[in-house]
Amino acid sequence: ATVLAACGGGQVGDSGGGTASNSNNKKLTLIPGVKAEPFYISMQCGAQDEAKAKGYTLDTQPPDKFDASLQSPILNGVIASKPAGILIAPTDDKAMAGPMQQAKDAGIKVVEVDTALQDTSIALSSISSNNEQGGEKAAEALAKLVGSKSGSVLVLNTKAGTSTTDARAKGFETAIKKYSNLKYIGQEYTDNDPATAASKVSATLSANPDLIGVFATNLNTGEGAGTALTNAGKTGQVNLIGFDASPKQVDDLKAGVVQALIAQDPATIGKQGVDQAVAALTGGTVQRNLQTDLVAITKADMDANSKYFYKQ
């Protein structure tokens, strides 16, 4: 089991054994989208504390990269270890359906945390931010910062098939088109890699000298965009709206590299994930869809919103 000092929690008790459906089985496993990333670390902390409070163990098994071809063998191994429940952030909204169906067929309670499959028949419950609305909030924040100035606007997405960032990009695109002074020039995929995000921003700056705004749909795209704007000496001139609130993103907000962050509440996503799995295991009421908070943060109100900053 991975126990993080940052969480304060820890493992408790004996997780029991036997089959997935055995009521003595108190073993839960969390499979995040990628290892060592503040969003998922915060989610893990929330899940671990709640599991401990409910008398369950929570083991965390992340892939090295945000990639279904790495996440699927991890899921297969977890299925073989027969936990009672699996909390998973599927890294692809189609490719993870087969392996997740196998978990369900093995009698394991499957809960989606953050990302989700297109096929809604496999997970018992899905907990996430309202990502489309988050994209709209980002567009509104950008329009407010820009005022009556005009220019081009870029969206940095992660990987096609990531349910969350696709929804954010969609919400942003719809909302930004309401502002006639802002020209939406499309989205670039970055493979969820900060260095790729940085190079996409550099290339866009060369091709579009009127670039006035960038919406980075998650932590990695935002960190990369911040680096590119800093290197180009364009911070503040190009408004950067990020999603998530990692330590680097918060530093960038403070330094004026980022103008607004749409922060999620990953610890509550993890906590609710455990609650839904436990409800399913104990005959309680399971809620099919649950939404957690999103908050738009600027430098002016960052101190009041520090509870939304992610752990590392």
Q: Which residues bind ligand T6T (CB under 6 A)?
A: 33, 37, 39, 114-115, 162, 164-165, 218-220, 243-244
The smaller minimum CB distance to ligand T6T, of residues 44 and 164, is found at: 164
The CB-of-82 to ligand T6T minimum distance in angstroms stands at: 27
The stretches of the chain forming alpha helices (DSSP H) are 38-53, 68-80, 97-105, 131-146, 163-176, 194-207, 219-231, 247-255, 266-281
The smaller minimum CB distance to ligand T6T, of residues 128 and 239, is found at: 128
Specify the DSSP class assigned to residue 298. Answer: -
CA–CA distance, 290 with 305 (Å, rounded to integer): 22
The DSSP bridge pattern shows strands 260-263 and 295-297 to be antiparallel
- Type of residue numbered 220: N
- Cα of 245 vs its chain's centroid, Å: 11
The smaller minimum CB distance to ligand T6T, of residues 33 and 46, is found at: 33
The smaller minimum CB distance to ligand T6T, of residues 249 and 259, is found at: 249
The CB-of-32 to ligand T6T minimum distance in angstroms stands at: 8
The CB-of-293 to ligand T6T minimum distance in angstroms stands at: 13
The smaller minimum CB distance to ligand T6T, of residues 84 and 87, is found at: 87
Length of the chain (residues) = 312
The CB-of-238 to ligand T6T minimum distance in angstroms stands at: 21
The smaller minimum CB distance to ligand T6T, of residues 61 and 115, is found at: 115
User: Do 222 and 245 touch, CB atoms closer than 8 A?
Assistant: no
The CB-of-306 to ligand T6T minimum distance in angstroms stands at: 19
User: Do 62 and 4 touch, CB atoms closer than 8 A?
Assistant: no
User: Do 115 and 270 touch, CB atoms closer than 8 A?
Assistant: no
The CB-of-213 to ligand T6T minimum distance in angstroms stands at: 19
